[in-house]
Amino acid sequence: MLSSRKTKTLSKTKGARVGSPVTFAWGAVAAELKSARLSRSLTIRDLAREVGCDHTVIFRLERSTPVAVEHLLSLLLWLGREPFQFTAVERKFKARLAPSIAKKIAGPSVRKAVKAGKTGRR
């Protein structure tokens, strides 16, 4: 078992899994969520009540901090977006995916964010 010191060090590294071919654009989700929330004149607490989560989840997500999958999915549903629209897969692994999945992954906006280094990987 890892000591608490090593665990803290590992949790600060970039990417949820070491060597993962998938990148999620947390920064793009954060920007879109905040923009949609403000355009609808909602506070963070109003949105939290509407979605059914704690206000701290939205606070963290708007600052590009990863949140639990169930909260992320409910907020993406609220936005009317799919998780695939914010993911990118390394080219060598993309060839192994089913064609229908490969088309959904790595849309143009995510590819630009990945190239610019704005993926918010954690």
pLDDT in tens, 24-36: 899 999 999 999 9
- Does residue 111 form part of some domain? yes
* Structural domains in the chain (count): 1
Q: Which domain holds residue 92?
A: 21-116
**What's the CATH number where 70 sits?**
1.10.260.40
- Does residue 7 form part of some domain? no
Instruction: Kindly state the average pLDDT of the residues 81-90.
Output: 85
- Does residue 42 form part of some domain? yes
- Does residue 11 form part of some domain? no
CB 55 within 8 A of CB 42: no
Residue 59: its H or E element: helix 55-61
- Does residue 16 form part of some domain? no
- Does residue 107 form part of some domain? yes
User: What's the CA gap between 39 and 61, in Å, rounded?
Assistant: 17
- Does residue 95 form part of some domain? yes
CB 64 within 8 A of CB 120: yes
User: What's the CA gap between 35 and 39, in Å, rounded?
Assistant: 6
Where does residue 79 rank: exposed (0-12), middle (13-18), buried (19+ CB within 10 A)? Answer: middle
- Does residue 71 form part of some domain? yes
User: What's the CA gap between 120 and 19, in Å, rounded?
Assistant: 16
Task: Supply the mean pLDDT for the chain.
Answer: 76
Q: For position 15, what pLDDT does the model report?
A: 45
> Which pTM does this prediction carry?
0.62
